[in-house]
Amino acid sequence: MTTQSFQPAGDGAATATVATAASLPSRPAASALHAVLLRLHFYIGLFVGPFILVAALTGTLYVLTPQIESHLYAAQLYNHSQGEARPLADQVAAAQAVIGPQARLFAVRPAKAPGWNTRVMFSQPGLGDSESRAIFVDPVSLHIKGDLIVYGTSGVLPLRTTLDYLHRNLMLGELGRNYSELAASWLWLGALGGVWLWWRGRQRRAAGEVRAPRPLTTRRLHTLVGLWIVLGLVFFSATGLTWSRWAGERVSQMRTQLGWITPSVSTQLQAGAPAMSMGEHADHMGAHGMSMAMPAAGDPARFDMVQQIARTGGIDAAEIEIRPPRAANQAWVVREVDRSWPTQVDTVAIDADRMIIISRADFADFPLIAKLIRWGVDAHMGVLFGVANQILMALFGLALTGLIVLGYVMWWRRRPAAGASLAPLIQAVMRLTPAQRIPLVVLALLLGWSLPLMGVSLLLFLLVDVIRYARHQRAAA
């Protein structure tokens, strides 16, 4: 039997061999399945590997930069003022005086501790999705400390926003999001396929089916690193797909059908509901400099009252965000934005006229799946367990980078000699038994629908495979 030794990029099998097309009919079904997975693993490493490599590098940079960002933007984030903080209404007014009437007040993040500045955030034309313009106000002196564009719920500043965009879409907008989704779609399969190839190789050697050559250093390192981080790779892939473009929509549909939706508050106010007197809170509100006359809905003068109602109602995280209503029939929203451990992401909707909480979504009441998704995404971003989470994610990112580089080194060293031909993927599939082929095809169709970029790229893999094999056949003839 003629065989051609071949070690693909990213292959976790220590001594994998693939039969040529002429020898495939004599191979058992298990070897045919091995050939299918080996060829697929090779294509994932060769064609998708660069995208995974970029995602690993940019993700590693992202999780390593919070401390750098805090130092770089220290003037905007911190102050040295001594004394009592002024009411939020005064802080908002100071920010509005700077930014002018063209921007709409979007949200306020009060200073989370003495020495920190308040963020007053505005929406204005020209900003991207999830971006807002933040005016940093010293809560004691009311001095303006900075004016920056911030991004997302985490409120990252320009440095990490750039790294986030690089990681998400290579700074190419919606089109660029396909790169990261392609990487996440194949990462889990490449990792699990590598484990299969390693396990199958051990079986073959134990049975004496093939003679194991002396392992190369790069191959052994690739195998060991892949086995060490395989669970992390599956985790990165699953959490990354939750906010992808095409697969993310499928994930949202599935979560809706299974009831795994993350609870949210209702901001709709009851029409014609009577206003509630301040009652026992009257003296407290006056102590914060608020007029006894009720301001209009959405008026910045209500920020202090809304914050106090939220605090009384159980919003106790140091980091909170207050959003005024966008319309007269909507409520104020106060939410916790501390995603570290223990997670504090409770949200309340407040009817400021009646001074009551009309809706709430407490993290403690989230379904288990919603909690796991929340923790998974935050761990992926390196914020769940602070510095320890950052270090762990960075180590995984570096290990994945090394894994891909080692795979390419192995491919370059052991690429097939000129004129040699490995069996096409489609032909290896046809050599499977019906009991193997039918479930495999059904699984491929399901994955192609669930992960559209995986389906499209798989068709391209097959096209490249068939064209390459046909060219070799013509050359041989």
Question: Which pLDDT tens digit goes with each residue over 150-192?
Answer: 998 889 999 999 999 999 999 999 999 999 999 999 999 999 9
Q: Are residues 414 and 272 in the same domain?
A: no
Q: Tell me the pLDDT tens digit for each residue of 62-81.
A: 999 999 999 999 999 999 99
Read off the pLDDT band of 477 (50, 70, 90): confident
Q: For 245-257, what is the mean pLDDT?
A: 90
Query: What does the pLDDT read at residue 211?
Result: 56
Residue percentage of the chain with pLDDT more than 70? 84
Q: Are residues 209 and 122 in the same domain?
A: no
Q: Are residues 141 and 234 in the same domain?
A: no
State which of 346, 365, 384 marks the end of a domain. 365
Query: Backbone phi, then psi, for 273, in 5-degree steps?
Result: -70, 135
Residue percentage of the chain with pLDDT more than 90? 65
| Rounded distance between C-alpha atoms, residue 235 and residue 381, angstroms | 12
DSSP designation for 45: I
Percentages of the chain per state (helix, strand, coil), in multiples of 5: 55, 15, 30
Read off the pLDDT band of 29 (50, 70, 90): low
Read off the pLDDT band of 350 (50, 70, 90): very high
Q: Looking at per-residue confidence, does 98 or 468 come out higher?
A: 98
Strands (DSSP E) contained in 307-459 are 320-323, 332-336, 347-351, 356-361
State which of 127, 156, 185 marks the end of a domain. 156
Q: Are residues 96 and 46 in the same domain?
A: no
CATH number at residue 133: 3.10.450
Task: Tell me, yes or no, whether 380 lies in a domain.
Answer: no
Query: What does the pLDDT read at residue 355?
Result: 94
Q: Looking at per-residue confidence, does 284 or 372 come out higher?
A: 372
Strands (DSSP E) contained in 234-323 are 320-323
Read off the pLDDT band of 215 (50, 70, 90): low
Task: Tell me, yes or no, whether 386 lies in a domain.
Answer: no
Q: Are residues 341 and 211 in the same domain?
A: no
Q: For 348-374, what is the mean pLDDT?
A: 95
Task: Tell me, yes or no, whether 187 lies in a domain.
Answer: yes
Q: Tell me the pLDDT tens digit for each residue of 173-184.
A: 999 999 999 999
| Rounded distance between C-alpha atoms, residue 281 and residue 299, angstroms | 19
Which residue range(s) make up the domain with 81?
74-156
- Computed over every residue of the chain, the mean pLDDT equals 85
Q: Looking at per-residue confidence, does 418 or 186 come out higher?
A: 186
Task: Tell me, yes or no, whether 131 lies in a domain.
Answer: yes
Task: Tell me, yes or no, whether 387 lies in a domain.
Answer: no
Q: Tell me the pLDDT tens digit for each residue of 90-122.
A: 999 999 999 987 889 999 999 999 999 999 999
Q: Are residues 12 and 49 in the same domain?
A: yes
Q: Tell me the pLDDT tens digit for each residue of 259-313.
A: 888 999 999 997 655 444 333 333 333 333 333 344 555 688 899 999 999 999 9
Q: Looking at per-residue confidence, does 16 or 297 come out higher?
A: 297
Number of separate domains in the chain: 3
**Angle subtended by helix axes 452-476 and 173-206, to nearest 10:** 60
Owner of token pair 């403690």: 364
Task: Tell me, yes or no, whether 101 lies in a domain.
Answer: yes
Q: Are residues 355 and 277 in the same domain?
A: yes
Give the range among 165-169, 194-198, 472-476 with minimum mean pLDDT. Answer: 472-476
